[in-house]
Amino acid sequence: MDAFLISTGLVALAEMGDKTQLLSLLLAARFRRPWPIVAGIFVATLANHALAGAVGAWVTEVLGRDVLRWILGASFLAMAAWMLVPDKLDEDQLGDESSRLGVFATTVIAFFLAEMGDKTQVATVVLAARYNAWAAVVAGTTLGMLLANAPVVWFGERITRRVPIRMVHLVSAAIFAVLGAAALLGWG
């Protein structure tokens, strides 16, 4: 249960102000059809994070416990630093192809690609390696993504104006830093 809850919370926080959250806002503004967008986010995230979780589980199998502890500690500290770098959405994130694919398919493809190498995907790899609980981590990170993105799809700009994104990033960075220090010191 720890793996699920921590994965949910960390990814929900890490996603605030992230490029995929900005993509959610853009998709909502462009298509104005929240249900297919949220369904597309779910499918894309589940596929992306299932792959990331599998990589994390594989890393756990291949590396020794001491090596893994150092890699995890360094990864969590890197995630803490990365949380302090604001994301922006590339102007060409949605091409002209999006109109022909439909709302759901456009969302799945755009969201899956935008999530590649993203903070939350890297966090999923690290969390899956840390907890060695693939299903719980993937379920938690997917729920965290939905918790952060679905309200943006439905309520859009009203939410982004009220949530202090910088504070959320600072809290996320602090949590990742604590987890990194704990891993390096051998706690938990």
Average pLDDT over residues 151-161: 76
Beta strands per DSSP E along the chain: none
Whether pTM > 0.85 for this model: the answer is no
Q: In this prediction, what percent of the chain has a pLDDT beyond 90?
A: 34
User: What digits encode the pLDDT tens for the residues 64-114?
Assistant: 667 777 877 887 788 778 777 765 555 455 555 555 778 999 999 988 988
Share of the chain above pLDDT 70, in %: 84
Higher-confidence position of 130 and 164: 130
Q: What angle do CA 16, 21, 27 make, to 5 degrees?
A: 160
CB 23 within 8 A of CB 29: no
Report, in angstroms and rounded to the nearest whole number, the Rg of the chain calculated over CA atoms.
Answer: 16
CA-closest candidate to residue 129, choices 46, 7, 5: 7
Mean pLDDT, to the nearest integer, of 106-130?
A: 88
